[in-house]
Structure 1
Amino acid sequence: MLLKDKVAVIYGGGGAVGGAIARTFAHEGARLYLAGRTRAPLEIVGAAIRKGGGTADAATLDALDVDAVEAHAARVVDEAGRLDISLNVIGYGDTQGEPLLVMKPDRFVGAIHNAMESHFLTATAAGRHMVREGSGVILALSAQAGRVPYLNTGGFGVLSAAIEAFCRQLAAELGPGGVRVVCLRSGGSPETPAGQHKQEWWAKQAEKTALRRLPLLTDVANAAVLMASDRAGAITAEIVNVTSGELYD
C-alpha cells in the first residue's frame, strides 16, 4: 500500500473527482477526512470507504471560511496525530459558456477569487501543521485550459493557471520545511456528471490526445496516489500532466 497509515484531508471529497481520489487513497491505506459544503455526498463516499474496510470521516465545511478551515485542520491533527496529505478539489462556480466580451465581471472574477482563496486557506492551514512535523504533501488540481486557451472558458483557464503558479510559490516556501507541493493538470473526464452531457464534444477532445482517449477518474486518482506517496519524494513544484497527451510537456 503506497499510502499506508497516511492521514489525508480532501476538500471537495464528495464530488466526482474528490470521491474517486478518496476511494483510491483509502484502497492504498490512507485514513481519510472528507470535507465539503454538502454533507450527503460526503457521507456516500465515506460509507463506501468504510464498507471496503477503510477509515473515513465526513465534515461539513466551507473552504472559504478561514476559521472553519483552521479548526478542521487542527481537529484532524488532534484526532489522528498528524496531517500528511491535503488535497483541494472544490468547485469554483459557473464561469464558462460565453465570450469574455459579454461576460459579467462578477461571473469572471468570482470563480478566480473562490479558487485562489480556498487554495490559500486550505494549503496554508495544512502547511503550518506539516512544517512543524517536517513532512507532508499538498496537492491541487488544475486543467489543460491553464496552459492552452480555449474559447468561452471564461475565468476557468485563468484560475487553473493561477492555481499552478500558487503551487510553485508554495513549494518554494515550504520545501525547506520538508513539505512537497504538486499540482495535477487533468484533461477532464467524460465520467463526471457534467461530462456525461457532452459525449460528442468529449469524443472530439479525445482525438486531440496522444493516447486517443481522455483521462478517466481512476487515472487522475492513481496519479494523485503516486504524487502523495513517498515514492515521489523528490517531486515538488511540479505540474503533473494527466491529459493523456493532449499537452506535450
Structure 2
Amino acid sequence: MDLGLAGKTALVLGGGGGLGSAIARTLAREGAQVAVAGRSLAPLEAVVSAIRADNGKALALEWDLGDLARVDDRIGRVEAALGPVDVLVNNTGGPPPSPAAGQPASTWQAQFEAMVLSVIAITDRVLPSMRQRGWGRIITSTSSGVVAPISNLAISNALRLTLLGWSKTLAREVARDGITVNVVVPGRIATPRVAFLDDQKAHRESRAAADVAAESIAAIPLGRYGEPQEYANVVAFLAGTAASYMTGSVVRVDGGLIQSL
C-alpha cells in the first residue's frame, strides 16, 4: 500500500529510542524526510545513518524536550533542512517508576514540562503551517496506562492521560483544516524501556527479570511482546493518506493485553 508520504516531512520525538527509531525508519522507507529528536545525539545519529544508507533523507536534533525555550529554534532547523513539518510524532520518554502518593511537587513539575508541555508547545509551533497547506498529521504515542493504569507508574498514568484529553479536543478543532490528530497506545513492546521496567519490578519483588517477563507474556493473548516494527507500522498508517478519515481516535497496539472495551 502506498501511504502517500513521499516528499512529506516528519518529525519524530524520542527518535533514538526503541519505538521512535522504528517509527522514523518506517516513515523514511515510505518516502518521508525525517527529523529525529532526542536528548542523546549518538542514538539519533545511528538512526540517521541507517536512513541515509537506504537512500533516505534525515536530520538528527539533540533536544532536551523539557527545555521549552528551544522549541522555535529546533523546529526552525527542521524547516530549513527538510521543509515544514507535515507529520509530527509526539513520542516522549517515560518517567521513573513511582507510586501515586508522596512524590515531590518538583518531580511532577519537571515531568509535566517534559512529557506534556513540550508536546503541546511543539504541536502549536507546527500547526500554523499545516493549516496553511491544508494537510497534517499529529500522532501522540502514550501507554496502555491511559486505558488501564499500571501499578507503580503513577506519573506516567496521570500525565499521559492529560495528553489524551488534549489530543481529543485538538482533533475537533483542526479537522476542517485537513489535519488529523490521533493517539496510539502501546502494550508490552520489546524495547529497552520495557526491559528496564521488568528489571525494576524484579528488583522490587526480589525475583528474576525473566520470571517477571514470563508473567507479563502470560497475560497477553498473542503470547509475546510486540516488536517495535509492528508498532511503527500502525503509526505509519495513521500518518498516511489511507487514514485520512481517522481522527480523535485512540488506537491500541497491545496484542490484546488491555481487557476493557
Look up the equivalent residue of 1:181 and give its one-letter code: V
Q: Residue type matched to 1:21 in 2?
A: I
Task: Give the direction of change, closer, same or farther, for the CA distance of 1:141–1:82 in structure 2 (3 Å limit).
Answer: same
The match for 1:231 among 239, 242, 248 is 242
Counterpart contact for 1:112–1:156, Cα < 8 Å = no
11-20 or 196-205: which moved more? 196-205
Q: CA deviation at 1:127?
A: 1.3
Structure 1 equivalent of residue 117 of structure 2: 117
Q: Report the secondary structure of 2:152's partner residue.
A: coil
Residue in structure 1 matched with residue 39 of structure 2 by the alignment: 37
1:152–1:29: structure 2 CA closer, same or farther, 3 Å change rule? same
* Structure 2 unaligned residues grouped into runs of 5+: 200-208
Task: Please tell me the residue identity of whatever aligns with 1:203.
Answer: A
Q: Which residue of 2 aligns with 1:4?
A: 6
Deviation, 1:27, is: 1.5
Q: Is it true that 1:214 corresponds to 2:229 in the alignment?
A: no
Alignment match, 2:206: none
- Is the 1:143–1:188 contact (alpha carbons within 8 Å) kept by the matching residues of 2? no
Q: How does 1:29-178 map to 2 (within 5 A)?
A: 29-94=31-96, 96-97=97-98, 99-178=99-178
1:77 Cα deviation (Å)? 3.0
SS in 2 for 1:90: coil
Q: Distance in 2 between matches of 1:114 and 1:191?
A: 20
Q: Is the 8 A contact 2:146 2:161 kept in 1?
A: yes
Q: Please list the CA deviations of residues 120-147 of structure 1 after superposition, one character each: whole Å capped at 9, or x if unmatched.
A: 1111112122111111101111111111
2:203 alignment counterpart: none
How many residues in Structure 1 have an aligned counterpart in Structure 2?
A: 247
What secondary structure, in the 3-state scheme, does the structure 2 residue paired with 1:181 have?
strand
User: CA–CA distance in 2 between the matches of 1:194 and 1:150?
Assistant: 13
> Which deviations, in whole Å up to 9, do the C-alpha atoms of 1:154-181 show, x marking residues without a partner?
2111112111111111111111211111
- Distance in 2 (alpha carbons) for counterparts of 1:145 and 1:81: 35
Deviation at 1:109, TM superposition (A): 4.6
What SS does the aligned partner of 2:142 have? strand
When residues 150 and 63 of structure 1 are mapped into structure 2, their CA distance, relative to the original with a 3 A threshold, is closer
TM-score (norm 2): 0.86
Query: In the TM superposition, what is the alpha-carbon distance from 1:35 to its structure 2 partner?
Result: 1.6
AA in 2 matched with 1:202: A
Matching residue's letter, 1:31: Q
SS in 2 for 1:223: helix
Q: Distance in 2 between matches of 1:204 and 1:174?
A: 42
Report sequence identity in percent. 27
Match of 1:190 in 2: 190
SS in 1 for 2:192: coil
CA RMSD of aligned residues (A): 2.0
TM-score normalized with structure 1 length: 0.90
Residue identity in the other structure for 2:150: Y
Deviates further, 191-200 or 229-238: 191-200
State how far apart, in whole Å, the 2-side matches of 1:83 and 1:37 are: 20
Contact 1:109 1:155 in 2 (8 A): no
Specify the code of the residue in structure 2 equivalent to 1:8.
Answer: A
Partners of 1:162 and 1:100 in 2: how far apart?
15
Aligned to 1:155, the other structure's residue is in SS state: helix
- Which segments of 5 or more consecutive residues in structure 1 lack a partner in the other structure? none
Q: Against the structure 1 CA distance between its residues 105 and 67, is the aligned structure 2 distance closer, same or farther, given a 3 Å change threshold?
A: closer
Q: Helix, strand or coil: the match of 2:92? A: coil
CA contact (8 A) 1:190 1:199 kept: no
> Contact between 1:5 and 1:31, CA under 8 Å: does it hold in 2?
yes
One-letter code aligned to 1:208: A
Aligned to 2:204: none
| SS of residue matched to 1:57 | strand
What amino acid is the match of 2:63? L
Q: Which of 59-68 and 157-166 deviates more? A: 59-68
